[in-house]
Amino acid sequence: MAKGRFQKGNSFRFGPDWTGQRCGAKSRKGTPCQRPAHKRNGRCSLHGGKSTGPKIEDGLARLTAARATHGKYTKEKRAEAKGFAEQGRQMRAELKELEAWFVDHGHLDKNGEIGSNKAPIAPITRF
């Protein structure tokens, strides 16, 4: 039997009256986890508090290889995604310019009404 505060049956060691930080992760019952949390990230060892990630070069290389096997984060894919984002920004800017031109020339009202008859645009319905 251990001595001191680690003695079996000590009522305040991680019990309901313990004042330390709890894990708080959602358990399978739907209640917060009551295990003591690690200082690093506030979770217990069952909910991600024990691991601190790879520390040596070999472990970091394995992590990099595992992330790049699917090809989602390659330089080419990231460059392609940046190109698509730039195209989207250009198209939105052109649409904004066109809308301003139509409003300035009286072809479009700011409320979405067209021309001088001020008839609102009817929504497209499917049959």
Greater model confidence, 4 or 71: 71
- pLDDT band of residue 84 (cuts 50, 70, 90) is very high
Buried b (16+ CB within 10 A) or exposed e, 14-49: eeeeeeeebbebeeeeeeebebebbeeeebbeebeb
In 3D space, the residue among 54, 26, 22 whose CA is nearest the CA of residue 36 turns out to be 22
Dist CA 46 CA 25 (whole Å): 10
Answer whether residue 93 shows pLDDT above 70.
yes
pLDDT digits (tens, 9 = 90+) for 28-40: 889 888 888 887 7
- pLDDT band of residue 105 (cuts 50, 70, 90) is confident
Dist CA 103 CA 97 (whole Å): 10
Within the chain, strands assigned E span 113-114, 119-120
| Mean pLDDT along residues 60-71 | 75
With tokens 């319905």, the residue in question is 125
0.75 exceeded by the pTM? no
Greater model confidence, 88 or 60: 88
| Mean pLDDT along residues 52-80 | 79
Answer whether residue 1 shows pLDDT above 50.
no
pLDDT score for 126 = 64
